[in-house]
Each structure stands twice: as C-alpha cells, then as structure tokens.
Amino acid sequence: MVRKKPIVVVTRKLPDVVETRMCELFDTRLNVSDAPLSQAELAQALRTADVLVPTVTDRIDAQLIEQAGDNLKLIANFGNGVDNIDVAAAVKRGLTVTNTPGVLTDDTADMTMALILAVARRVVEGAHTITAGEWTGWSPTWMLGSRIAGKRLGIVGMGRIGQAVARRAKSFGLSIHYHNRRRVAAGVEEALEATYWDSLDQMLARMDIVSVNCPHTPATYHLLSARRLKLLRPSAIVVNTARGEIIDELTLTKMLEAGDIAGAGLDVFEHEPAVPNKLLRLAKAGKVTLLPHMGSATHEGRIDMGEKVIVNVKTFMDGHRPPDRVLPNML
C-alpha cells in the first residue's frame, strides 16, 4: 500500500530549492504570491493541513489552535523564535512544535556587529550625505563617531547568538559582559574573557553598548523596561536583533529624543512591520539605524532554515521525535 503523503501548508514563499524538495517529499501547498495570510486564511490552513509551516509573520494563538482540524499534528516553524506560536496551547492540543535553531546564529551575530558599527561610526548617515549630494569634501572634525575598541559591550542573553556576538566583538577589541538566566560554562567565559553580571540592572548602568540577544518569552517581554532603560549611561548605544517586544520601544524612543542615550540600532520592532514615526524621524536625524528585520536574511541561512524544516517534518512523519522539538518548559 502506498502511504499518503502528508499535507504540508507553507504560509510564505520559501527559497526555490526548499520548495522543490518539499514538493518532492510531501503534498505541499505553497504560497507563491508570498502575501501574508489573514487569521481567517490561517484558520483554514490549520483545518486542511497535517503540518503547518508558519513564519514570524503568522500569529498562531490559542484561539486559532482551537480551530485546527483533527489531521493537524505538527507546526514546523520556519524560524528560530517561536513567540509567534502559543506553544503551550499547541502542546495541550497534542501538537508537536519545532523550530530552526543554530543555522541563523552567524548571520544574526554579523548583523548585530553591523548595527553596532553603523551606529557608533555613523555609517548610514555618512553614506546618505553622498547619495544626497551633500558631501563637500573631507574635514578633520566632520562626521566623527565613537571608537568601539576598548568599549564595554553588555550582551543580554548569552545563548548561541549572544556567544557568536561576543566572539566577533572580542576581536573588535570590545570587552565582553553578559547577563543570562544561567551563567555559561567556565570554559566559554574564559575563551571570551567575559564578565557575568547576575544583576541586569547593574550591568546596564555600566555598559557603553548593550546588545539584546535573548528570545522573546513572557519572561523577557519589556525586559528592558522604562526603569531599566533609565539606568543606561547617556553615552550608551542599544542594539536589538532579537525581538522588538524585549525593549519598551516607546520609552527608548523618548530617551533617544531627549538625548538620554546616544543612539540605537534596531532590526526588530514591537509591532512589525509598523515603525513609530518618531523613530523614523530619529533615523533621519542620524540618531538611530533602523533595519527591516533582516538579521537572518542571507540566501544560505534561509536555505539552511528550510532544510531544518524538512528534516523536522520528515523525521516526525517517519514516526520519530523531530530534532528541533520545542516544549513550553524550554521557553
């Protein structure tokens, strides 16, 4: 008897090689237009699918999960962060959830460094003067930024990505400080010459640059709250390539406007794709560098993510535990 292929609904356009392989292996329903699905379309997908492959742009909440069909067994997220999925509600309903860890670590860490450099060295502002035809020639006192070597970098979240940022930053001459739920292994600390801060508050008050690299969970929502942001030095720079929700965006914006901190580099926002007008104005004034959630946006990374999804779906469908299963107690 020929086994029926599982129906796999993919919510967004994935790289061609990934889609081709998925179509060979599964009864795959693609989204060639790449238009994000509405909640009603997502509900319909959940009724049809054996496996749903969503992305960060799909909100798979408890209400939606309640409407899933009996066939749905697996939510194989195309992405590392699973804050778009109510994992507890999914597991309660007997669904398995997987993600794609490990394959976007280097790309995201690279983008973190790019933002640190962009803000400290005024890269975007400088580039703009050329394209705007405003450059009148070199001057000894014009377009000066801040040297990053010798500065203190405080990494909030020392997981895979945090450590990859630390490795890069160390080679740029930054001293590495970090706050994490758990202190990392002594060998890792030693190799990075990293200082562990049990108190996030105390670390924030002493850093030149703060990089957010932890996942967004209920425990990290507004981890950089108004109170904590106010602990930062006026010369501090904040960089976020994790999730917008981890920082109180409104307070950060107000502090940037008031000059209470020196700058920010943001790849993520609290209500994507909406970016507050005030932040846009600050970007035009050269105070912040804003990117459209592109930390993991490399051809290689997106193919690797797709391969991870395929392995997770295939392993699950073959009756085994998928390698990247996510459980509520991991969050």
Tell me the catalytic residues.
243, 272, 293
Residues 297, 109: contact at Cβ < 8 Å? no
Interface positions, 100-129, toward ligand 8YV (CB under 6 A): 104
Sheet with 263-266, strands from edge to edge, namely 195-196, 175-179, 152-156, 209-212, 237-240, 263-266, 288-290
In whole angstroms, how close is the CB of 272 to ligand 8YV at the nearest point?
10
Rank residues 80 and 98 by Cβ distance to ligand 8YV and give the closer one.
80
Q: Which residue has the tokens 């970007």?
A: 283
The footprint of ligand 8YV on this chain (CB under 6 A) covers a number of residues equal to 9
In whole angstroms, how close is the CB of 295 to ligand 8YV at the nearest point?
5
220 binds ligand 8YV (CB under 6 A): no
Rank residues 26 and 78 by Cβ distance to ligand 8YV and give the closer one.
78
159, 244, 295, 306: which one contacts ligand 8YV (CB under 6 A)?
295
Whole-Å CA distances, 52 to 37, 59, 153, 178: 12, 12, 39, 36
Q: Which residue has the tokens 């108004």?
A: 226
Interface positions, 183-202, toward ligand 8YV (CB under 6 A): none
78 binds ligand 8YV (CB under 6 A): yes
296 binds ligand 8YV (CB under 6 A): yes
Distance from C-alpha of 308 to C-alpha of 322, rounded to nearest angstrom = 10
81 binds ligand 8YV (CB under 6 A): yes
Pairing relation of β-strands 175-179 and 74-76? unpaired
Distance from C-alpha of 128 to C-alpha of 287, rounded to nearest angstrom = 13
Distance from C-alpha of 226 to C-alpha of 180, rounded to nearest angstrom = 20
Tell me the window of 29-37, 79-87, 148-156, 176-184 that interacts with ligand 8YV (CB under 6 A): 79-87
Q: Which of 220, 234, 122 is nearest to 180 (CA)?
A: 220
Site string for ligand 8YV, 41-70 (x = CB under 6 A): --------------xx--------------
11, 28, 31, 80: which one contacts ligand 8YV (CB under 6 A)?
80
6 binds ligand 8YV (CB under 6 A): no
In whole angstroms, how close is the CB of 243 to ligand 8YV at the nearest point?
7
Q: Find the helix or strand (DSSP H, E) in which 66 lies.
A: helix 62-66
269 binds ligand 8YV (CB under 6 A): no
Q: Find the helix or strand (DSSP H, E) in which 281 lies.
A: helix 277-284
Residues sharing a CB contact under 8 Å with residue 122, sequence separation 6 or more, in sequence order: 143, 144, 145, 286
In whole angstroms, how close is the CB of 80 to ligand 8YV at the nearest point?
4
Cβ-closest position to ligand 8YV? 79
Rank residues 133 and 273 by Cβ distance to ligand 8YV and give the closer one.
273
In whole angstroms, how close is the CB of 60 to ligand 8YV at the nearest point?
12
Which backbone phi and psi does 327 adopt, to 5 degrees? Answer: -115, 150
Rank residues 117 and 294 by Cβ distance to ligand 8YV and give the closer one.
294
List beta partners, residue 212. Answer: 156, 240
Q: How far apart are the first and last CA of the chain?
A: 41
In whole angstroms, how close is the CB of 221 to ligand 8YV at the nearest point?
16
Structure tokens at 270: 């609290």
Q: How many CA atoms lie within 13 A of 50 on its CB side?
A: 12
In whole angstroms, how close is the CB of 175 to ligand 8YV at the nearest point?
27
Using CB under 6 A, list all residues that contact ligand 8YV: 55-56, 78-81, 104, 295-296
